[in-house]
Amino acid sequence: MREITVLELKQWKEEGKDFQLIDVREQFEYEMSNIEGENIPLSGILIEADKISKDKPVIMQCRSGARSAAALMQLEQNLGYTNLYNLKGGILAWAAEVEPGMKVY
């Protein structure tokens, strides 16, 4: 499984790199705090896979990196995705290293 750090993600955003960011947390979690991107909860990841690009890098993220890793593995194993990255440490790492004022839970 390929991973990307929050500092690498920050750099991609600053450079305007073309990628897709998918937050696999539940909607209520996404509404509390997020780093943008689309919200596709883990429970519906295979059902809504048509919303996930196969043509550019896709970063999967959650609170800590565990659910996004599970989503990434489901997409790779069941649908043949090869362009996925897991955000190491999830939104907790983003809040700690990039956006210290972010509300976390």
- 3-class SS at 39? strand
* pLDDT at position 80: 98
Show contacts of 5-13: CB within 8 Å, 24+ apart.
5/87, 5/88, 5/89, 5/93, 6/87, 6/88, 6/89, 6/93, 6/94, 6/97, 6/98, 7/97, 7/98, 9/35, 9/59, 9/87, 9/94, 10/98
Class of domain 3-97: alpha beta
Q: Which of 4, 21, 60, 62 is catalytic?
A: 62
Supply the pTM of this predicted model. 0.95
Domain ranges for the chain: 3-97
Of the pLDDT bands very low, low, confident and very high (cuts 50, 70, 90), residue 105 is confident
DSSP one-letter code for 100: T
Tell me the pLDDT tens digit for each residue of 22-79: 999 999 999 999 999 999 999 999 999 999 999 999 999 999 999 999 999 999 999 9
Instruction: For residue 62, indicate whether it is catalytic.
Output: yes
